[in-house]
Amino acid sequence: MLGEIVISRKLYTEKAVLITTFFGGPVAAGYMMGENYKALGEDKAGTRSFIIGLLSSILMYVALFLFPDSFIESIPTVIIPGIYTFIIVLIFQKYQKPAVALHKENGGEFYSGWKAAGIGGIFLLVQLAVIFLFIYIMIPDFQTSTYDKGIEEFSKNETEALKAYDILQTGTEEQILFHLKENGIDLWKQNLVILDDLDKIDGLPDELRMQDALLRRYCNLRIVSYRIIEKMILEQSDEFVPKLDSLQNEIDMVLDNLSGE
């Protein structure tokens, strides 16, 4: 039985376990309580304690990876460490506190809080290294250069397509219609194809997928507006001006969203 053994080795106090658990997670708690068990002559319990702590940490991180990022970001930083630290303290109080109290009454020695904090820091660093390694191996690498090249081509097409507005002021009717179709609508359609290809990139961040969706909306609005301008020229009619103004307002809203305003 714990407490009936004469203890000559140092133990970790409840406070030390609490500090280590908060920073190092359940695996750190399992290690420290395991060391206490070994000092108390319970080697099997010590090994079991560390294994349980390790498995608990693994299960916790797997669960966190499964939750959406938006949910994780909504949780205050201290909540998760606070929860598992509270659970470990309850376990410590039930299974080790009596023996630790007896050890103190008998004049036994304890490890310092600094040692506990150091152990917590080491376990934290090890876990971070494992997480980064997991992300590097399991999560597809985002092809930044491929995406940037696609956006560069998109911008060139956009610049050329927008020249239609300059030609509206200075060009002949034939030049305007040609540019609206060949250098306008066709280029906007090419940009839609570019966006489809960009969305196929492995590991593309969600924010860039949202940006692509806005750009796709932008291209479609431009295509519709160009067709209306084309129709106005062919029919020599101003009846579509309100519709054109409404489309321009939608285009401006999309551009504001893209610029973050």
The lowest-confidence range among 2-16, 58-72, 98-112, 118-132 is: 2-16
> What is the C-alpha to C-alpha distance for residues 5 and 14, in angstroms, rounded to an integer?
19
pLDDT of 213 over the 90 cut: yes
* Contact by Cβ (8 Å): 243, 228: yes
Q: CA nearest 31: which of 56, 49, 5, 12?
A: 49
What predicted TM-score, i.e. pTM, was given to this entire model?
0.52
> What are the residue boundaries of the structural domains of the chain, listed by start?
14-138, 144-259
pLDDT digits (tens, 9 = 90+) for 29-38: 999 999 999 9
Q: Quick one: pLDDT at residue 234?
A: 87
- Residue 3: pLDDT band (50, 70, 90) is very low
Q: Which of 1-5, 118-122, 220-224: highest mean pLDDT?
A: 220-224
Q: Quick one: pLDDT at residue 220?
A: 95
Report the SS3 class of residue 77.
Answer: coil
pLDDT digits (tens, 9 = 90+) for 76-98: 888 989 999 999 999 999 999 99
